[in-house]
Amino acid sequence: MGDELSRAVRVELRRRAPWPGTEVDADLRPRTALHARHERHRHRIRCGGLVILHVGGNNQGALTAFDAATGAVKWAWNGDGPGYGSAILAELGGARQVIVFSQQNLVGVDAANGQLLWQVPFMARATTNSITPLVYGQTVIVSGQGKPLTAYRISKRNDQWAAEVAWENDQLQMSFSNPVLVRDAVFSLSPLNSGQFFWADAKTGNTLWRSAPRQAVNAAIVRAADYLFVLKDDGQLMVARSTPGGFEPLKTYTVADSATWAPPVISGNRVFVKDVSTLALWTLN
């Protein structure tokens, strides 16, 4: 781990209409029939020749697979509007699945055809399902505002899919800070006590460690090699070893002048950081 982080490039970001023909208001918000009360920030995923994204807005939308070459819709699940988190791909019960929070549910659909395999009613406070699910073995670990850290065991018996609670920990929650998995432990930031970093046992859900209170409002967390890169919402990037049972930053860098909510992107010795209006490239020396 290099001792110095230097900024190489910084560019201004300008929002554009998300698809041709969409009008844009003066505040750069798109005006469409599916425009949500709150903007959904989701990442697309690639699966073979498909690009999968939960499109739409409040109370309506579809988890949709598009042909990456032509844009044609290959399949769509329209059982609920989108949440705020991103979908993931995982193999559970012998089936490759797209797992995602919708507006009011946690769902798993067949990645090949979009068929709904299982569904769990789940709605965080203020309808903000924001967490990207974390898969550990045959369980899916999630949380949300006002919801305990929870693992659902996904199984298939007699051609019937089931999602059952494997464990819950009501001492820990996640609001907007996604978890990372390090061996058999989960690391994230809980909104309780004005922000506490924590480690939890991925097998049992037991709390392994909690930091002092008042650490951050939000933290975007990325694991790279043996390190955790933790970007707090105030533009402070902390780098620590990914050792379950504690969190001691080796270095802390100021990498932005405004709020930072998106996770940093690590590529070799390069660190990409997005704040409110700019995208910056930093290099580790």
Q: Give the whole-angstrom CA distance, residue 191 versus residue 213.
A: 9
User: Where do the domains of the chain lie, and which CATH numbers do they carry?
Assistant: 1-16+220-285 (2.40.10.480), 80-215 (2.40.128.630)
Spatial separation of the C-alpha atoms in residues 142 and 86, rounded to whole Å: 12
Measured distance CA(106)–CA(103) in Å, rounded: 9
Query: Which pLDDT score, from 0 to 100, does residue 48 have?
Result: 86
pLDDT for residue 42:
57
State which residues of the chain have pLDDT below 50.
Answer: 15-40
Terminal-residue alpha carbon distance, the chain: 8
Sign (positive/negative) of CA torsion 114, 77, 93, 40?
Answer: positive
Handedness of CA 119, 122, 126, 131 (dihedral sign): negative
Predicted pLDDT at 2: 52
Q: Are 273 and 264 in contact (CB under 8 A)?
A: yes
Cα distances from 23 to residues 30, 36, 66, in angstroms, run 6, 15, 23
Q: Where are the alpha helices (DSSP H) in the chain?
A: none
CA angle 118-119-124, nearest 5°? 155
What pTM value is reported for the model?
0.87
